[in-house]
Amino acid sequence: MKLIEISLRNSTAVVVGIILTLLFGFLAFTRIPIQLNPSIESPYITVETIYPGASAIEVEQEVTQRMEEKLAAVENLREMRSTSSEGRSEIILKFDWGVNKDNAQLDVLQKRNLVEDLPDDVEEPQILTVNRREQLTVMWLFLDSETLDVNQMRQIADDVIVPQISRIPDVANIRIGGGAEREIHVLVDLAAIAARDLTLDEIADALSRENRNLRGGKIVKGPSRLVVRTLGQYTSLEEIRETVVKNGESGPIRIKDIAQVRDSFKDADFHVRVNGRPTVSMGVVQQIGGNTLELA
């Protein structure tokens, strides 16, 4: 009774206390990262194959594609996507809701055993029921186009999509795969630079000097060529050709006088396919403590 009497005599203080309690409770709730919701995912099975010493393209042609041909016949298969990297093939199988995972694993094993003519150096394909790559990311995005090839899609991903996604709060990193990064090849005429008393280092220095905002890029020097990984300040190949290396006795010596400049692509580190079609993948990695629902 005393508590009731005290509350009635101090009704204003009681109301204020209740309001403050509700307010602080609401603020605390909104600041708790939402990570504990049950994850309801359709079953995944991963087939991993090691091919020591093989390049990404060799892995794709000699292992991944042959495996995909057989695995495509697995029952209740909802989606199949693959990654072929140096020395390693990974095929991720996504199944329909409610499928019996043990039966699915047995079916995958049977189809895997039908694969023939794998290279002698290939290790026995492993079947994994835990998709380790999915555990590291909160979302996978895939590009598909009827008109663009995989390298063009990769350029759009690098230049447009990834920078925009990177600005979203709680995004720690974006893992991008498939296609090849754009790079510019400067093919140097060794006889021409020798006649002008030039070196590859001088040419590389000239390109770096003109390409001042080479953010995250670099110039790679080879025996007779230079590779510009990022255009930076340059907006066209013609600007690279017009770059002055040094002033000679008869006038400025430009890149076009001593080299050919070609638009090209870096050798792909790995290849990505979804349902047999080459594609570009982007895995969105969440920052520690981030809010998964808000990010998604």
Whether residue 163 lies inside any domain: the answer is: no
Whether residue 282 lies inside any domain: the answer is: no
Whether residue 45 lies inside any domain: the answer is: yes
| Three-state DSSP state, 36 | coil
Q: Residue 265 forms beta bridges with which residues?
A: 182
Q: Residue 140 forms beta bridges with which residues?
A: 283
Whether residue 193 lies inside any domain: the answer is: yes
- Reported as a single tens digit per residue, the pLDDT across 156-190 is 888 888 888 888 887 777 888 888 777 778 888 88
- Reported as a single tens digit per residue, the pLDDT across 10-44 is 556 545 555 656 655 655 555 555 544 444 555 88
Give the domain CATH number at 195. 3.30.2090.10
Name which of 106, 112, 79, 124 is nearest 272 in CA terms.
Answer: 79
Alpha helices in 31-74 (DSSP H): 56-59, 65-71
Whether residue 143 lies inside any domain: the answer is: no
Assess whether 229 and 260 both reside in one domain.
Answer: yes
Assess whether 6 and 69 both reside in one domain.
Answer: no
Q: How confident is the model at residue 214 (pLDDT cuts 50, 70, 90)?
A: very low
| H or E stretch at 23 | helix 11-30
- 113 within 8 A of 75, measured Cβ to Cβ: no
Q: Say if pTM beats, i.e. exceeds, 0.75.
A: no
Q: CA 251, CA 257: separation in Å to the nearest integer?
A: 11
User: Tokens 């057989």 belong to which residue?
Assistant: 70
Assess whether 23 and 84 both reside in one domain.
Answer: no
Q: What is the mean pLDDT of residues 127-156?
A: 77
Higher-confidence residue of 291 and 160: namely 160
Report pLDDT for 31.
56
Assess whether 113 and 88 both reside in one domain.
Answer: yes
- Pull the structure tokens for residue 67: 């495996």
What percent of the chain shows pLDDT beyond 90? 10
Whether residue 154 lies inside any domain: the answer is: no
Domain boundary residue among 102, 135, 168? 135
Give the domain CATH number at 119. 3.30.70.1430
One-character DSSP codes across 173-222? EEEEESS--EEEEEEE-HHHHHHTT--HHHHHHHHHHH-TT-TT--EEE-
| Residue 58 CB contacts under 8 Å (≥ 6 apart), including other chains | 51
Assess whether 43 and 131 both reside in one domain.
Answer: yes
- Choose the weakest-confidence range: 84-98, 110-124, 264-278: 264-278
Instruction: Count structural domains, the chain.
Output: 3
- Choose the weakest-confidence range: 124-133, 146-155, 169-178: 124-133
User: Mean pLDDT highest for which of 36-40, 122-126, 133-137, 290-294?
Assistant: 122-126
| Average pLDDT for the chain | 77
Higher-confidence residue of 140 and 290: namely 140
User: Mean pLDDT highest for which of 26-30, 76-80, 185-189, 222-226?
Assistant: 76-80
Whether residue 286 lies inside any domain: the answer is: no
Assess whether 188 and 207 both reside in one domain.
Answer: yes
Decide if pLDDT at 107 tops 90: yes
- Choose the weakest-confidence range: 28-37, 55-64, 228-237: 28-37
Assess whether 27 and 94 both reside in one domain.
Answer: no
Report pLDDT for 142.
87
Q: What are phi and psi of 123, to 5 degrees?
A: -80, 160
Assess whether 8 and 66 both reside in one domain.
Answer: no
Assess whether 128 and 44 both reside in one domain.
Answer: yes
Whether residue 140 lies inside any domain: the answer is: no
Assess whether 24 and 63 both reside in one domain.
Answer: no
Domain hosting 44: range is 39-135
Dihedral angle at the C-alpha atoms of 124, 125, 127, 132, nearest 10 degrees?
Answer: 120
> How many CA atoms does the CB half-sphere of 147 hold within 13 Å?
0
Q: How far apart are the first and last CA of the chain?
A: 52
